[in-house]
Structure 1
């Protein structure tokens, strides 16, 4: 997908990321939980990396040491790559 500038409200429609930056003393674990909620609430038609770039530009640059900035940066740099394990390997743990 092409890179286009997203409005922060489009990138964070429910304001979850915005609110995480307003919570004093928020932990990295809490930010990860909020991030999951944010990611699951995104409409399928938006490009997640574009959203992450927009959020980092708006919130992360002025708050480089905030735990949510770390979570957003990690998501952009190393996006989750689901790995399907089928057959026996999917049903039993590897020794």
Structure 2
């Protein structure tokens, strides 16, 4: 069951970080790296929260980088975090 918790590092394998370090990287390569990253998200981590954290970490310093655009597109299409339900009433918390 997904939670709102993030790992200490939203990019534990360093895939996104390394993409920002590749000089002259283009969108197709960034898409491929993003897919690898997305497939490695640990169970229980909300993708939209991890994407938001990555954009905060890297996007401000590199707003024109193709990976920033890919992360922003991913965030725009990611489902919102699941709302927790109150076990006793079944109502959203």
TM-score, length-scaled by structure 1 = 0.74
Q: Could you tell me how far 1:4 is from its partner in structure 2?
A: 6.1
Change (3 A) 1:40 1:58: same
**Bigger proportion of residues as helix:** 1
Counterpart-to-counterpart distance in 1, 2:6 and 2:34: 20
Alpha-carbon separation, structure 1, partners of 2:38 and 2:22: 19
Q: Provide the C-alpha distance between the structure 2 equivalents of 1:53 and 1:19, rounded to a whole number of angstroms.
A: 18
Unaligned stretches of 5+ residues in structure 2: 80-93
- Work out whether residues 11 and 17 of structure 2, in 8 Å CA contact, stay in contact via their aligned partners in 1: yes
Structure 1 equivalent of residue 73 of structure 2: 74
1:31 matched to 2:21: no
Alpha carbon RMSD of aligned pairs, Å? 2.0
**Of the two, which has the highest radius of gyration?**
1
Task: Spell out structure 1 runs of 4+ moving beyond 2 A.
Answer: 1-7
Which runs of 5 or more structure 1 residues have no equivalent in the other structure? Answer: 81-95
Question: How far apart, CA to CA, are the structure 2 residues paired with 1:41 and 1:5?
Answer: 13
Alpha-carbon distance in structure 2 between the residues aligned to 1:76 and 1:22: 21
Q: Give the Cα–Cα distance (whole angstroms) in 2 for the partners of residues 5 and 58 of structure 1.
A: 14
